[in-house]
Chain A
Amino acid sequence: MDQTRRNVLKAGGGASLFALLAAAGMLQPGTALAADRNQKAFEAKNLKDALDALGAGSPINSNDIVMTAPEIAENGAVVPIGAVSKVPGTESIAILIAKNPTALAASFDIPAGTEPAVSTRVKMAETSEVHVLVKAQGKYYMTKKEIKVTIGGCGG
């Protein structure tokens, strides 16, 4: 376990960690600047309201969006979700969790010339369908997958 990246980084420690990451090109100044946040969408209490607030209406189901997510969450508090859009002209990618108290978990703007690939970790209250919504050339596309949040035990 000595060879893990975590330990290498720990050895770097504190402030120098950021210097290291920056030097390695892993952090770029300014990337954390938030664009205007669609507050209404982030506060919507269900999937439909969130889609409406995003202006997405009824998105088209698409196989050109690839979602990477576990079938069963190891920990509902940190569920890793990744999405890659092959829809030409992708402008934004959003992640929505139907059964969370607020459905919209994340929204990423994709500047022109950027590879539309994002990943994040989301908190899930219970088993739910997770949707990835892509906006491209003014149209909305979606794919979904059920992620189970279970109480565990009794396996094997």
Chain B
Amino acid sequence: MGMAAACGLPLAQLSGRAQAQGAARIYDLPRFGNLHFLHFTDCHAQLLPILFREPNVNLGVADMAGRPPHLVGDALLRHFGIKPGTAEAYAFTFLDFEQAARTYGKVGGFAHLATLVKQLKASRPGALLLDGGDTWQGSATALWTKGQDMVDACKLLGVDIMTGHWDFTLGAERVKQIVDNDFKGRIDFIAQNIKTADFGDPVFPPYVIKSMNGVPVAIVGQAFPYMPIANPRYFVPDWNFGIQEQTMQRAVDEARAKGAQAVVLLSHNGMDVDLKLATRVRGIDAILGGHTHDGMPAPVIVNNAGGKTLVTNAGSNGKFLGVLDLEVKGGKVADFRYHLLPVFANLLAADTEMEALIRNARAPYEAKLGEQLALTEGLLYRRGNFNGTFDQLILEGLMAEKDAPIAFSPGFRWGTSLLPGEPILMEHLMDQTAITYPYTTVTEMSGEMIKIILEDVGDNLFNPDPYYQQGGDMVRVGGLRYSCDPNAKMGARISAMSLRGKLLEAAKTYKVAGWAPVSEAAKTAGGEPIWDLMARYLRGRKVIKPLQLELPRLKGMEGNAGMA
């Protein structure tokens, strides 16, 4: 591809709510080229506008250090040429989050997203709307309706093509039910890397070819490769996943042979994995990526043996809509434009039809969702490599309710944010915990086992080869202090583990509380759902004071642009 770089929104010139009217113009994107893709990913079932604080710790190691997506705060603004203090800076970074959130308001929401999609589709005939997955999980209503509220909303939104990850935690049967019934003839669910465990037969079509403005284009699907490892395997016992470069190459080659003049990969790999994949698989023009929740204002252009591949990542929780325009000339992609548009709920009118659908979907649950559990005096958020205040709250709840000196909480990257002074409603608690394996656990663990677990999760995050990463954050640890050297090899990253000032002993056992176990044995054992435990804890406290994050002592990360 001959690429003319193009990104950056006029938003950078805006600041303050007085500019709101003019700011709506950021959505007036002139059409470019003849292939158009609208892309959202990892919305985690957030139908209503929310707040989402981007991380101030998103470390890159080895080749990934100091490069997108491992840039936070000012480093991110500098790299992408975004002015501090603007609406754009608010959308893409954690900087002045509380102040900026009060100025620019909530983001996302399907009713506002629907308005934007309609507007862009009107200016871009034939445009396809792609959903990168993590759509049917993340909210109370998605959990209680087994994803039905999101399925209905996505159909109304006009999603054309989807792939998945957390969606599979509804279980294989439910997934097939949705794909074979609700989606039939409307939405293509594609995944080249899901095969039956017995014979290796494809479970979903690997790709689809669509004709847009007279140009045949292939969209290949890549589901999250490590779903049965990162999440319970028992939800999809008969399916194998994996990255599968060779079958990916075959799918791309086959689509090209069938006449596709452009190939787009709808990926749930995570950005580091996509960046590596783009160096090794030939013939993909653009990767519309997700999973790692990196809101990247511009694509990374990767060279490979077949030419160039654009790699994008479109953030999470409904905050953004990616707009990719490709110009196909003489049978191949000649130029592109890419924009990652923040969905500012204050700047986009709610679509009335979508608003009604959401209202109806929520109606049976409103009373339960609206229960005030407590009030927070500090900012509550989750995202960050090692901890977030909402996870700190969960750790403290677990330790108190289970009477355990140590607690573990998984490094999920979804979950909305709350400002100081806001009530913590049942809905907000569910935003952090709504999964199909919510069991809380208490385990007697040896010091050696605790070390093994921290090393294992640390390697999933900091392995220098992205293909060995799983894309979540580090397990959150309460009570236990430790040091972490992300650059070290597996087995040597974690040290100086101590509890109440005393070093952990390898052979001694410690009581550890946790939740979200992936083993089938833990499912059989049951265990109180985390939301019940936390609701009780919050009701008992009524007011949550600002929380002090428990963080590991980091080694070798001085000057890393992924930390502020």
In the complex, are the beta carbons of A150 and B472 less than 8 A apart? no
Q: Which chain A residues border B517 with CB–CB below 8 Å?
A: 153
A27 and B288 alpha carbons, distance in the complex (Å): 43
A93 and B517 alpha carbons, distance in the complex (Å): 39
A4 and B240 alpha carbons, distance in the complex (Å): 14
Contact mask for chain B residues 204-224; partner A; CB cutoff 8 A; 1 contact, 0 none: 000000000000000000001
Contact of B241 among A74, A127, A151, A152 (CB under 8 A): A74
Contact of A154 among B201, B240, B410 (CB under 8 A): B410
Q: Is B470 engaged at the interface, CB distance under 8 Å to the other chain? A: yes
Stretch at the interface among B257-265, B296-304, B411-419: B411-419
A5 and B224 alpha carbons, distance in the complex (Å): 24
In the complex, are the beta carbons of B471 and A155 less than 8 A apart? yes
Q: Is A6 engaged at the interface, CB distance under 8 Å to the other chain? A: yes
**Would you give the shortest CB distance from A133 to chain B, in whole angstroms?**
21
Q: Which chain A residues border B411 with CB–CB below 8 Å?
A: 154
> Contacts A156-B224, A156-B291 hold; do A72 and B229 have CB atoms under 8 A apart?
yes
Contact mask for chain A residues 43-75; partner B; CB cutoff 8 A; 1 contact, 0 none: 000000000000000000000000010111111
Q: Which chain B residues border A148 with CB–CB below 8 Å?
A: 459, 468
A75 and B233 alpha carbons, distance in the complex (Å): 9
In the complex, are the beta carbons of A4 and B196 less than 8 A apart? yes
In the complex, are the beta carbons of A154 and B233 less than 8 A apart? no
Which of B242, B243, B413 is most buried by chain A, counting CB atoms within 10 A of its CB? Answer: B242
Q: Which chain A residues border B518 with CB–CB below 8 Å?
A: 152-153
Q: Is B385 engaged at the interface, CB distance under 8 Å to the other chain? A: no
Q: Is B173 engaged at the interface, CB distance under 8 Å to the other chain? A: yes
Closest B residue, CB atoms, query A147: B468
A sample of 15 inter-chain contacts (CB < 8 A) reads A1-B176, A4-B196, A5-B196, A71-B242, A71-B468, A127-B490, A148-B459, A153-B410, A153-B475, A153-B516, A153-B517, A154-B412, A154-B472, A155-B226, A155-B229
**Would you give the shortest CB distance from B263 to chain A, in whole angstroms?**
22
> Contacts A1-B172, A1-B173, A148-B468 hold; do A154 and B230 have CB atoms under 8 A apart?
yes
| Chain B 134-177 interface residues, beta-carbon cutoff 8 Å to A | 134, 165-166, 172-173, 176
| Chain A 118-156 interface residues, beta-carbon cutoff 8 Å to B | 127, 146, 148, 150-156
- Mark A residues whose CB is within 8 Å of B: 1, 4-6, 68, 70-75, 80, 127, 146, 148, 150-156
Q: Which chain A residues border B516 with CB–CB below 8 Å?
A: 153-154
Which of B413, B414, B518 is most buried by chain A, counting CB atoms within 10 A of its CB? Answer: B518
In the complex, are the beta carbons of B228 and A156 less than 8 A apart? no
**Would you give the shortest CB distance from B265 to chain A, in whole angstroms?**
18
Contact of A151 among B173, B226, B228, B453 (CB under 8 A): B453
Q: Is B558 engaged at the interface, CB distance under 8 Å to the other chain? A: no
Q: Is B93 engaged at the interface, CB distance under 8 Å to the other chain? A: no
Contact of B230 among A5, A6, A70, A155 (CB under 8 A): A155
| Chain B 465-504 interface residues, beta-carbon cutoff 8 Å to A | 465, 467-468, 470-475, 490
Q: Is B231 engaged at the interface, CB distance under 8 Å to the other chain? A: yes
Q: Which chain B residues border A1 with CB–CB below 8 Å?
A: 172-173, 176, 238
Q: Which chain A residues border B227 with CB–CB below 8 Å?
A: 155
In the complex, are the beta carbons of A5 and B201 less than 8 A apart? yes
In the complex, are the beta carbons of B456 and A151 less than 8 A apart? yes
Q: Is B373 engaged at the interface, CB distance under 8 Å to the other chain? A: no
Q: Is B326 engaged at the interface, CB distance under 8 Å to the other chain? A: no
Q: Is B198 engaged at the interface, CB distance under 8 Å to the other chain? A: yes
Which of A68, A153, A155 is most buried by chain B, counting CB atoms within 10 A of its CB? Answer: A155
**Would you give the shortest CB distance from A78 to chain B, in whole angstroms?**
8
